[in-house]
Structure 1
């Protein structure tokens, strides 16, 4: 999909979710042919003409000022991440001399980043914007079904939508898939010319009906903090808090650090997994009993 089409689909989807009542727009009766707000209502809330907003919604955004885009973001009640996504999409359509250069998405972490990972005593991984795991410490590698060194990178989205093992691995499977698609959407808005990302989205779109359906929602998120729950094939159910850190020295990479509640069942099971991670064996430990 071209960037103008992405802008059109994104703005249309955001407009459809805002009811007149939520936007404070008076309704005078009569059937409404569209869900959410009409174009003229968004234009009125943003302080622009209906024709001008309609042009923007068709993806013809060249020359649109930051003030106008911010006004549209407020009218559509975009959150900070959605607003950033809109600005990224518009930036891509700008004239070449105005377009901000995008750093290439890294496919590996530096030795310094790996040393930091190895010093962390809880599971930790580094992902790029395509959701490739480019580095991990020993516990992070034991937690995820990572391929052996030298093989293709583990991609979380491809695993979730194309690998049957994922259904058993993610306890909150539906949420994990929604989040993966939203993260990829945000990455595609930031760098729609990333060839590897284009190939990944194309592969997932052609091989997964569910991915195509979720992609059409145009939701976007960014890693921050939260909770993740997994069902590990060797040690059973695990629940983590996590924090994310963008690596300023390696733009495009994010470190995810998983925290464990002391004396919890997860802490006990992670002790078993840690023992396995330190042991040079080819087979995992026997599955721990769950309570």
Structure 2
């Protein structure tokens, strides 16, 4: 995961998604050799010179300011997750010296109060993960919900590895295809935030080697945040479940995120959760 190359590929992939109609630029005709916008058109929309933007897209980020990043973000119509990813890539590409000291890996919670707290949340499934999507902690209902994932002997249990490498995942996730895009986009965002995470690099290498789909999706450079949504699964014991989830960053445990799943009261999913 070379930071300058990732920056180049991310910017190229974002402008390839745009067209003149979406940006309001006039179309003077002529053959376009690349999909989407030309670099000169992005520079025009961002309010910077085309040469400056070309250098930036090639990975030369020396002296890039916040207003320039904001201008490029507007020109490429980036959403919040993509804007944050662009900032992270530029920040990483700026580093020329020795990589910063790595923070301790979070594979288990360092504070026992965290496990005590999620155990007390006995009516909802809770799943705590790090940026690599390793399972760091669960309560009993969370472990029961993701029992198929926890059958993996490899430690730590990892949601991406389960999704792409375990055949059972295609049955467990009723919207498996959408989940594959989401998981890769989450890992892409984490790669921008943590470019020197060796375990993340090894996970990406493993998945790219063993899954052609992962390799293809990784090359799309899509990113996203994990905040709220709907998770539709088929549990082998209780059947179909449609669960809303909230994802919350843990300030007491930097780098960890807690996912809390819930169901509408008296719904079929709610009643089936009680059976778990």
Closer, same or farther in 2 for the Cα pair 1:31/1:146, shift >3 Å? Answer: closer
Write out aligned runs for 1:98-247 (5 A): 103-109=103-109, 110-120=111-121, 121-144=123-146, 145-147=148-150, 152-247=155-250
Question: What runs of 5+ residues in structure 2 fail to find an aligned partner?
Answer: none
Partner of 1:86: 86
Rounded to whole Å, the distance in 1 between the matches of 2:236 and 2:177 is: 19
Does the aligned pair in 2 maintain the 1:18–1:36 contact within 8 Å? yes
Deviation at 1:62, TM superposition (A): 2.2
CA shift for structure 1 position 116: 1.1
Task: Look up the match of 2:15.
Answer: 15
Find the counterpart in structure 2 of residue 263 from structure 1: 266
* Superposition deviation, residue 147 in structure 1: 3.4
Residues in 1 aligned to 2:128 and 2:71: alpha-carbon distance in whole angstroms: 36
How big is each residue's C-alpha offset from its partner over 1:154-185, in whole Å with a ceiling of 9 and x where there is no partner? 10000011011101100000011110000000
3-state SS of 1:185 partner? helix
Contact 2:143 2:150 in 1 (8 A): no
User: CA RMSD, aligned part only?
Assistant: 1.9
Could you tell me whether the CA contact under 8 Å between 1:62 and 1:94 is conserved in 2?
yes
Q: Quote the offset at 1:31 in angstroms.
A: 2.2
**Match of residue 73 from structure 1:** 73
Partner Cα separation in structure 2 for residue 148 and residue 39 of structure 1: 49
Q: Secondary structure at the match of 1:126?
A: strand
**2:232 partner SS:** strand
By how many angstroms is 1:66 displaced?
1.4
Larger mean Cα displacement after TM superposition, 99-108 or 263-272: 99-108
Distance in 1 separating the partners of 2:91 and 2:188: 15
SS of 1:234 mapped into structure 2: coil
Give the 3-state SS of the residue equivalent to 1:62 in structure 2.
coil
Counterpart Cα distance in 2 of 1:149 and 1:164 = 12
* Structure 1 residue 98 displacement after superposition: 12
1:103 deviation in Å? 3.7
Q: Secondary structure at the match of 1:93?
A: helix
Over alpha carbons, which structure has the higher Rg? Answer: 1
1:48 and 2:51 equivalent? no
Task: Using structure 2 for the length normalisation, give the TM-score.
Answer: 0.94
